A and B are shown apart, each in its own frame.
Chain A
Amino acid sequence: AQSVTQLDSQVPVFEEAPVELRCNYSSSVSVYLFWYVQYPNQGLQLLLKYLSGSTLVESINGFEAEFNKSQTSFHLRKPSVHISDTAEYFCAVSALFGNEKLTFGTGTRLTIIP
């Protein structure tokens, strides 16, 4: 079984400042890793994912995440945040095999302060 830990439930950040949202996972097998974003009053949508290859993955809106196997982490970063980044961010994990389900973390609410 897999589990995901997002230790920060809320992260306030000033506009144009950098941000890091932390995600650690636990699994006895190799995994795929995902970050989903939920804007207010909407469903979740995929932000980025790590499947294989380069450990650094990027999204179209400036976020990036780095897979660190030794530390079992997949932290999400952005060098300069915008008001429109205000949302809840969920880290998720799926096993490479028998991977019918995603396991989600409890989410991190990112609030951008003008």
Chain B
Amino acid sequence: NAGVTQTPKFRVLKTGQSMTLLCAQDMNHEYMYWYRQDPGMGLRLIHYSVGEGTTAKGEVPDGYNVSRLKKQNFLLGLESAAPSQTSVYFCASRKTRGTDTQYFGPGTRLTVL
């Protein structure tokens, strides 16, 4: 049982390049989330999904797109990377809402030059 995994662990992009971050969970969770973590700002929600085929915007969605084609995977895309997107990205999953614990992946450190 691997929990929540993220690919890749590190990435360096040039401004304007695109990339996709992959999140996978093997706990059959319905809810999945993408956050970014920046110094002094805590975790900010980018997008989330409440089930296969659904997505919704969080508090900082601009510049990102997501897809949840399979229940176990949640993809985060950057179409045209900007230096302001340099951050550590965390994926999380949760069985359902309410009292269920949210489980986090190990993070992806992205640098945009």
Q: Could you tell me which A residues sit within 8 Å of B by CB distance?
A: 6, 9, 32, 36, 42-46, 49, 51, 90, 94, 96, 99-102, 104-107
Query: Could you tell me if B31 and A45 are in contact, using CB atoms closer than 8 angstroms?
Result: no
A51→B101 CA distance, assembly (Å)? 11
For the residues of B in contact with A, the DSSP-based class is strand
Query: Could you tell me if B104 and A44 are in contact, using CB atoms closer than 8 angstroms?
Result: yes
Indicate whether A43 sits within 8 Å of B101 (C-beta atoms), given known contacts A9-B40, A100-B31, A107-B42.
no
A102→B43 CA distance, assembly (Å)? 10
Q: What is the number of contacts between chain A and chain B, taking CB atoms within 8 Å?
A: 50
Is the CB of B41 closer than 8 A to any CB of chain A? yes
Query: Could you tell me if A43 and B106 are in contact, using CB atoms closer than 8 angstroms?
Result: yes
Residues of A within 8 A of B58 (CB): 101
A104→B102 CA distance, assembly (Å)? 12
Is the CB of B74 closer than 8 A to any CB of chain A? no
Query: Could you tell me if A49 and B42 are in contact, using CB atoms closer than 8 angstroms?
Result: no
Residues of B within 8 A of A96 (CB): 98
B42: contacting residue among A43, A94, A106, CB under 8 A = A106
> Whole-angstrom distance from the CB of B77 to the nearest CB of chain A?
21
Query: Could you tell me if A46 and B4 are in contact, using CB atoms closer than 8 angstroms?
Result: no
Q: Can you name 9 extra interface pairs (CB under 8 A) apart from A44-B92, A107-B42?
A: A43-B104, A43-B106, A44-B43, A46-B101, A49-B99, A49-B101, A100-B31, A104-B42, A106-B40
A44→B90 CA distance, assembly (Å)? 9
Indicate whether A90 sits within 8 Å of B104 (C-beta atoms), given known contacts A99-B97, A101-B58.
no
A66→B97 CA distance, assembly (Å)? 23
Residues of B within 8 A of A49 (CB): 99, 101
